[in-house]
């Protein structure tokens, strides 16, 4: 009997990771080909996938793909979506026909990440707060990247069920005067300001610009030059901040991390995530040293009478940026089981 293969993708607002894996009973499917693409280089998901399927190692198994699952950064209804921060319209059923695949299933990216965290190796997770984990209690996964994703896990029968969420688009709630001014500043651009406008890659750049425009400092010439040369300005600010090369970048990242922690604490209270809070997404692994410095956890537990409750919740950083891709592969494996 010939082998069956799985096709999976994690489709974000900036990048798309695509994998071909062997279908089997392993805890994590065996990946035989993987590629990361920049969204800006393609007009939509279909031409991007066609490019991947033409790779020699993939084309060799083209007729053996039994199922496909794509994690997408947006709400999914009737197996279709429009990406929140990119505008690509994606229809899973139409893709199955156009790409000649047996089935294509779309799932929210943080639904996929929620499925993937259970298959991570110990070395792919770092602990911010050990807490006192409660077996089978609710878990929460959040992650900032181009956008701000959220997923909730609850125990059902013999394992965790994942629930998609769009909580990243809840109203931004400042906790001090500086954040009050940041909210007022962003209202001029957006009217209503969600957490995603602040806790995301573009959000870090907005924080940096706000501090600069309100007289908190002037970026060094070195940083100004780097911002001109590189596309990912948030990554530049993070790198300069973590290396302590620019005081304004340091302030921006500290404010970003504090708001991130407060948001995580809000959702941990909402869900009573005694099973653990997992901080995922494209940004967290890159700024893990800053997350460990304390501002994130101080904001996370700073909930008045419920601070002790938050201090008992485990908080972990997912260091593997492809956790959503693993979740999509697991779903594809389920489809062809």
CATH fold label, 5-116+322-335: Nucleotidyltransferase; domain 5 (3.30.420)
**What is the pTM assigned to this prediction?**
0.94
> Taking 80 as the threshold, does the pLDDT of residue 264 lie above it?
yes
Residue 3 tokens read as: 């082998």
- In which residue ranges of the chain is CATH 3.40.367.20 found? 168-318
> Taking 80 as the threshold, does the pLDDT of residue 270 lie above it?
yes
- Specify whether the backbone of 152 is left (phi greater than 0), alpha (psi in -120 to 50) or beta: beta
| Secondary element (H or E) of residue 162 | strand 159-165
* Average pLDDT of every residue of the chain: 94
| pLDDT at residue 26, as a whole number | 63
Average pLDDT value for residue range 111-125 = 91
> CATH says 168-318 is which class?
alpha beta
In whole angstroms, what is the distance from residue 84 CA to residue 130 CA? Answer: 34
pLDDT (tens digit, 9 = 90+) per residue, 201-238? Answer: 999 999 999 999 998 889 999 999 999 999 899 999 99
| Secondary element (H or E) of residue 142 | strand 139-144
Q: Per-residue confidence at 239, pLDDT binned at 50, 70, 90?
A: very high
Q: Per-residue confidence at 119, pLDDT binned at 50, 70, 90?
A: confident
pLDDT (tens digit, 9 = 90+) per residue, 144-181? Answer: 999 999 999 999 999 999 999 999 999 999 999 999 99
Angle between helices 233-242 and 201-213 (to 10 degrees): 70
| pLDDT at residue 35, as a whole number | 95
Return the closest-CA partner of residue 220 out of 188, 250, 200.
250
- In which residue ranges of the chain is CATH 3.30.420.40 found? 5-116+322-335
In whole angstroms, what is the distance from residue 174 CA to residue 182 CA? Answer: 8
> Taking 70 as the threshold, does the pLDDT of residue 79 lie above it?
yes
């Amino acid at each position: 009997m010939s082998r069956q293969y799985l096709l999976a993708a994690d489709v974000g607002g900036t990048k798309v990771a695509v994998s071909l894996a062997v279908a089997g009973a392993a805890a994590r499917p065996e990946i035989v080909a993987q590629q990361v693409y920049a969204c800006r280089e393609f007009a939509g998901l279909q031409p991007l996938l066609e490019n991947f399927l033409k790779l020699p190692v993939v084309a060799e198994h083209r007729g053996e793909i039994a199922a496909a699952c794509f994690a997408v950064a947006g709400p999914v209804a009737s197996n279709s979506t429009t990406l929140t921060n990119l505008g690509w319209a994606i229809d899973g059923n139409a893709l199955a026909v156009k790409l000649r695949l047996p089935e294509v299933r779309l799932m929210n990216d943080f639904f996929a990440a929620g499925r993937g965290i259970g298959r991570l190796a110990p070395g792919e997770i770092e602990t911010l707060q050990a807490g006192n984990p409660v077996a089978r209690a609710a878990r929460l996964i959040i992650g900032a990247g181009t956008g701000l994703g959220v997923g909730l896990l609850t125990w059902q029968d013999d394992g965790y069920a994942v629930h998609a969420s769009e909580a990243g688009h809840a109203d931004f709630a400042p906790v001090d005067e500086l954040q009050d001014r940041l909210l007022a500043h962003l209202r001029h651009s957006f009217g209503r300001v969600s957490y995603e406008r602040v806790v995301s890659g573009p959000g870090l750049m907005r924080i940096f610009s706000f501090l600069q425009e309100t007289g908190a400092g002037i970026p060094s010439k070195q940083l100004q030059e780097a911002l001109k040369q590189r596309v990912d300005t948030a990554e530049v600010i993070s790198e300069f901040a973590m290396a302590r090369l620019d005081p304004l970048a340091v302030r921006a990242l500290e404010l970003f991390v504090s708001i991130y922690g407060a948001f995580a604490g809000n959702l941990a209270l909402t869900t009573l995530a005694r099973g653990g809070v997992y901080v995922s997404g494209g940004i967290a692994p890159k700024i893990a040293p800053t997350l460990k410095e304390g501002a994130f956890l101080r904001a996370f537990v700073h909930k008045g009478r419920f601070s002790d409750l938050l201090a008992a919740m485990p908080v972990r950083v997912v260091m593997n940026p492809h956790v959503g891709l693993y979740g999509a592969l697991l779903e594809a494996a389920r489809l062809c089981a």
